[in-house]
Amino acid sequence: MPKLTKRAIESFRSNGAKTGTLYWDTELRGFGVRVFPSGRRTFVVKFRTRSGRQRWLKIGTYGPLTAERARDLAKIELAKVVEGKDPATLRHELRNAMSVSRLCDLYMEAASAGLVLGRKGLPKKESTLSTDQSRINAHIKPLLGQLKAKAVTRMDIELFKTGVVTGKSIRDEKLGPRRRSIVKGGKGALTRTLGLLGAIFAWGIDHGHVEQNPVRGVRRFADTQKKALLSGDQYRALADALHTLEQKRDRHGAPRHSHIGIAAIRFIALSGVRRGECQQLRWDEVDALGTCLALGDTKTGASLRPLSRAAFAVIDGLDPTSDYVFAAGPEQKGYQGLPGLWETVQKTARLSAETAAKHRGESIPEAGLLDAVTLHSLRHSFAGIAEQLGATIPTIAAMLGHRVSGVTGGYILKRVDSLLIEAANRVGDHIAALMRGEAPSAQVIQFRPRGRSAERLAETSLSEGVSR
């Protein structure tokens, strides 16, 4: 039988067998071509494993694959046999290997069962699980889901980075009445999704699903989360926008916007709590005297925080119609409309600025005062004003519910005392004054060195006085 060449292969004919007619290469033992009655020709390799078992392996179809290239590939597979490997078994394992999509599903099943630990060695919270699932569905599965988890390489992760940043996973999908799924991508989304993907592969290594973590060592974009410090004009624009929304009525005379939501935004600005903490705040977590909050479930666990009198005044005027302070909806649970209401606040502030500019005969501003401000910016600004008023880092951490790392952090910030409450009151009163359009000054003490230079200055002044 001749060497398998283009001319020889095209001259081969099938004997009519359904399994095809085999023709072997005279140069490479075990390498052949199978000719089917349909005319299709397939390159194959026959070998025997070290255990004595005879195996077959398909190399590819003639046409897309030339005889020379098929012979090279056959040599690679037969070399594996010499090394004691079974190419057919390896291919079968790879074909049936777990996909990235399946690995993500197993990770989420374990996390939902409380088997994946987060902060302080505790199971992940429901909100975190929801966020993780959203990132998996939005970015990981569409771009990597079909790949075999064991075969994912560093290059695949780099291509994933490019896809998320350039918007390859962007979508705007309607889920139902008043519900949409909007995926925007970008550098911020990539940084957080890479963190999750790395955790999924690390979990896969611990449980024997994969052998390496291709995310390890991949460079990420810096966290560009906005850390705004609102100016006096911005606080006044916020107060004016909230007041405008409170005054709006529909044709039946009913308020057009939720007074509960408006109160919640004021509360965030005057207390520095997170949006989720505000939404889920319960009356039994509020001190009877209005001096502190005892939050049972936050990003950092249970948290005891001082409450400013300005913030307490906001919720003190609400009717306790439910266990939740900011109760809304048919079930009277925590108000969930803050993101949409905040967009309305931004739009109202923008329109107000445009109207004022037209009235003064000035050019219309390109952006409103609150366009670059988020609800979380109110928390950042609360901390910034506390720093301006002279509060120390541990004091600010206590007011915001942040953890203080190190051994010292285990000793302090375990209770709320009068000094901490007074610090919260100063910050809350300062922000309330800014929202009223006032401009209270922060009394910041400047450091002046007391040393030999100061002594010489005093002596010089004394000598000059004597000479006079």
Residue type, 405: S
How do the domains of the chain map onto residue ranges? 6-95, 100-206, 232-435
- Residue 407: per-residue pLDDT: 46
Which residues are CB-contacts of 413 (< 8 A; sequence separation ≥ 6)?
A: 394, 397, 398, 404
- Residue 461: per-residue pLDDT: 52
Other beta carbons within 10 angstroms of residue 165's beta carbon come to 17
Average pLDDT (187-191) is 88
- Residue 441: per-residue pLDDT: 57
Average pLDDT (189-204) is 94
Q: What percent of the chain has pLDDT over 90?
A: 62
Average pLDDT (112-139) is 88
Name the pLDDT band for 413 (thresholds 50, 70, 90).
very low
CA–CA dist 215, 153 (Å, integer): 9
CA–CA dist 83, 90 (Å, integer): 13
Mean residue pLDDT across the chain: 87
CA–CA dist 110, 332 (Å, integer): 32
Q: Are 186 and 139 in contact (CB under 8 A)?
A: no
Average pLDDT (447-451) is 64
Over 90: is that where the pLDDT of 406 sits?
A: no
Name the pLDDT band for 466 (thresholds 50, 70, 90).
very low
CA–CA dist 237, 149 (Å, integer): 51
Nearest to 289 by CA among 263, 316, 266, 265: 316
Rg (CA), the chain: 34
What end-to-end distance do the CA atoms of the chain give, in Å? 124
Residue type, 337: G
Tell me the C-alpha to C-alpha distance, in Å, between residue 241 and each of 126, 276, 379, 380. Answer: 33, 22, 18, 20
Phi, psi of 55 (to 5 degrees): -130, 155
Q: In sequence order, what DSSP letters do the residues of 167-222 get, joined into one string?
A: TTT-EEEEEETTEEEEE---HHHHHHHHHHHHHHHHHHHHTTS-S--TTTT-----
Q: The domain at 232-435 falls in which architecture? A: Orthogonal Bundle (1.10)
CA–CA dist 171, 35 (Å, integer): 47
Nearest to 274 by CA among 303, 299, 305, 309: 299
Where are the alpha helices (H) located in 411-451, listed in sequence order?
418-435
pLDDT-wise least confident of 63-77, 422-436, 440-454 = 440-454
- Residue 33: per-residue pLDDT: 95
H or E element in which residue 413 lies? none
Reported as a single tens digit per residue, the pLDDT across 357-399 is 998 888 888 888 999 899 999 999 999 999 999 999 989 998 9
Q: From the options 3.30.160.390, 3.90.320.10, 3.40.190.10, 3.30.70.100, give the CATH code of 6-95.
A: 3.30.160.390
Residue type, 311: A
Name the pLDDT band for 443 (thresholds 50, 70, 90).
low
For the chain, the 3-state helix, strand and coil shares in percent, each to the nearest 5, are: 50, 15, 40
CA–CA dist 389, 53 (Å, integer): 81
- Residue 447: per-residue pLDDT: 54
Name the pLDDT band for 181 (thresholds 50, 70, 90).
low
Which residues are CB-contacts of 24 (< 8 A; sequence separation ≥ 6)?
A: 1, 31, 32
H or E element in which residue 118 lies? none
Over 60: is that where the pLDDT of 313 sits?
A: yes
pLDDT-wise least confident of 129-143, 400-414, 426-440 = 400-414
Q: Are 306 and 416 in contact (CB under 8 A)?
A: yes
Reported as a single tens digit per residue, the pLDDT across 420-430 is 999 999 999 99
Residue type, 332: Q
Name the pLDDT band for 405 (thresholds 50, 70, 90).
low
Over 50: is that where the pLDDT of 208 sits?
A: yes
CA–CA dist 332, 318 (Å, integer): 13
- Residue 460: per-residue pLDDT: 55
CA–CA dist 331, 435 (Å, integer): 33
pLDDT-wise least confident of 38-52, 84-98, 303-317 = 84-98
Q: Are 397 and 387 in contact (CB under 8 A)?
A: no
| CATH code, 100-206 | 1.10.150
